Amino acid sequence: MQDEIRQSELISLLGAVAQQDRQAFHRLYQQVAGRMFGLCRKLTGQQELAEEALQDAFIRIWHHAGEYHSERGAPLSWMMTIARNRTLDLMRSRKVHQGASNEVIDIMEDERAGPLDATLHQDGSAALAMCLDELSQNQRDSVLLSYYRGFTHEELAEFLGTPIGTIKSWIRRGLIAVRRCLER
Amino acid sequence: MKITQERIESLAPEYVLGTLQGHARRRFQQWMMDSAEVRREVWFWEEKLSQLALVIPAEQPPASVWEAIETRLWPSRATAPVKARPKAGFSWLLPGWSLMATAAALVLAVLLMQQPAPEPEAPWSALTGAIVQADVDQPLWLVSEDSRSQFLHLRPVAAAQPEADKDYELWVVPEDDAAPISLGVIPVSRDRYQITLTPEVREALERSRTLAISLEPQGGSPSGAPTGPILHVTTLYEL
C-alpha cells in the first residue's frame, strides 16, 4: 500500500515536471535523488563522477518527464534506468574502470552476499531474485557484475580471466533463462 | 539483419544491461525506433533489472548537486556557486572550435532577416540570425525570436540531412560559462519549426544571444549536455 501511494505520488510529480513545474521537480529530486545517487556511487565507486551522473540524469528527467508512461514500468524504475545509463555513459567515455583483477573476488562476494539474497526477496522483487538464483554461478556473477559495476564483455573477460566468447555466452544464456523463468 | 522474436529476446536484455555495444547497439536502437514490440521488450527489462538497483542503500548527494542542476537548467536565477563541470559553458565549445578550424570550408556569418513592423504601445525586441556555411549559397537555417511571444522560430533553408543515426541538436550557450541549454533536436526538412522558450531559457538567450548546433545520436544528446562535435555557433542580432 505504501508503495502504491509512493508510485502514484511519483507519477503525479513527473506529470507536473512535464508541465515545467519547478517545485514538483524539487520534490521529485528530494524523493528519489538518494536512491539514484546510491546506484551512481555503486557503479562508479567515485564521488565526483557519481555527482556528475546524477546531475545529468535529473537534467534529462526535467527535459523528458513527458515521455514517461505506465508501459515503461514504475516511475522509480524509469528514473533509476536513466541514472544507470548516464553513469555508464560517463564511465565509458572517461574510461573509468572500477576495481582491479585482485579485487574481483571481493566484488563477487559483495554481489552475492549483497542486496540480492537479503533484501530482494522482501522487496517485491522475489520473482527476479528466484530466477537469478536458478542460474549457474558463472552466469549469475556475469550478469550481476555487469549490472552493479557496469562491466562490458571485455572487462568481464579480463576480470574473470575467461575468454570473451564464454562471457558472452554466460550472459546471453543467463538472461534468456531469466526471461523464461519470469514467464512461468 | 532482420528483426526476429528470437533476436529481440536475446538482444533487449543485453541492451538494457549495457553489454550490447558499438554497431550492434546502434542497430538495436534503430530497431527500437521502428518496432513497438522491441520497445516493449526493452521496457520489460528496464523494469525488471532496475529492481536490482532498488536494493542498493540510498545515499544522500551533497547539496551542491541540486544547486548545480538548478544552475544548469535556470542559469539566470541560480545564485549558489556551482562546482565547475569539466565541460561546462563555453569551455565545451573549444573542441568544436578546433574542429571548425580544421574544417576550413565552414564559416559562420550572420544575416539580418526582414524586420517586422514594431508595435508602438509595447516595447519589444527581436533577435534574429542565420546559420550559414561557406560552400552553401543559402543559409542552412534562419532563426528568429520575438520578445512578445514565447517562441523561437527556426526555418530550415539549405540544411542537409545529418548522417545516419544522427540528429542536429540546438543549444542556447548562456553567458558566464554556464552549461548549454538544450532546445531539442531540430529538423532539416520542415517549412517552419517553432520552439517554446521558457522565460528562463529566453532570458539566457537574450543575454548571451548565442546558439550552437551539435551533432548528436538520433533523438538528441542522451545526457542533456552536448556530446557530439559542435558544427555551428552563431550570434543573434537585435533588430
ipTM, interface predicted TM-score of the complex: 0.89
Report which of residues A161 and B103 the model is more confident about.
A161
CA distance B153 to chain A (A): 19
Same domain, B176 and B234: yes
Segment B22-63, tens digit of pLDDT = 899 999 999 998 899 999 999 999 999 999 988 889 999 999
Same domain, B125 and B211: yes
Cell of A39: 546506484
Assess if residue B74 is contained within a domain.
no
Same domain, B50 and B88: no
Task: Establish if B196 touches chain A: CB-CB under 8 angstroms.
Answer: no
Range of the domain at B41: 5-54
Q: Do B225 and A59 touch (CB under 8 A)?
A: yes
Same domain, B91 and B169: yes
Q: Is the pLDDT of residue B104 over 50?
A: no
Q: What's the structural domain count of chain B? A: 2
Q: Do A56 and B225 touch (CB under 8 A)?
A: yes
Least confident segment among A72-86, A141-155, B94-108: B94-108
Where does a domain end: B16, B39, B54?
Answer: B54
Q: Which residue in chain A is spatially nearest to B11 when comparing CA positions?
A: A172
Same domain, B10 and B90: no
CA distance A102 to chain B (A): 22
Segment A3-32, tens digit of pLDDT = 655 888 999 999 999 999 999 999 999 999
Assess if residue B70 is contained within a domain.
no
Same domain, B126 and B208: yes
Same domain, B42 and B155: no
A-contacting residues in B 142-161 (Cβ below 8 Å): none
Same domain, B160 and B42: no
CA distance A136 to chain B (A): 18
Assess if residue B13 is contained within a domain.
yes
Assess if residue B234 is contained within a domain.
yes
Nearest-angstrom CA–CA distance, A150 and A86 = 11
Same domain, B168 and B221: yes
Same domain, B48 and B89: no
Q: Is the pLDDT of residue B110 over 70?
A: no
Question: What are chain A's domains?
Answer: 2-93 (1.10.1740.10), 101-183 (1.10.10.10)
Assess if residue B224 is contained within a domain.
yes
Same domain, B88 and B19: no
Assess if residue B231 is contained within a domain.
yes
In this structure, are residues B69 and A63 in contact, taking their beta carbons and an 8 Å threshold? no
Nearest by CB to residue A88, choosing from B18, B60, B68, is B18
Where does a domain end: B32, B54, B76?
Answer: B54
Task: Establish if A43 touches chain B: CB-CB under 8 angstroms.
Answer: no
Assess if residue B62 is contained within a domain.
no
Task: Establish if B63 touches chain A: CB-CB under 8 angstroms.
Answer: no
Segment A62-103, tens digit of pLDDT = 999 998 988 888 999 999 999 999 999 999 888 766 654 444
Report which of residues B16 and B151 the model is more confident about.
B16
Task: Establish if A110 touches chain B: CB-CB under 8 angstroms.
Answer: no
Task: Establish if B209 touches chain A: CB-CB under 8 angstroms.
Answer: no
Task: Kindly report the pTM of this predicted structure.
Answer: 0.61
Same domain, B27 and B125: no
Q: Do A54 and B198 touch (CB under 8 A)?
A: no
Question: In this predicted structure, what is the pLDDT of residue B215?
Answer: 86
Report which of residues A124 and B203 the model is more confident about.
B203
Assess if residue B71 is contained within a domain.
no
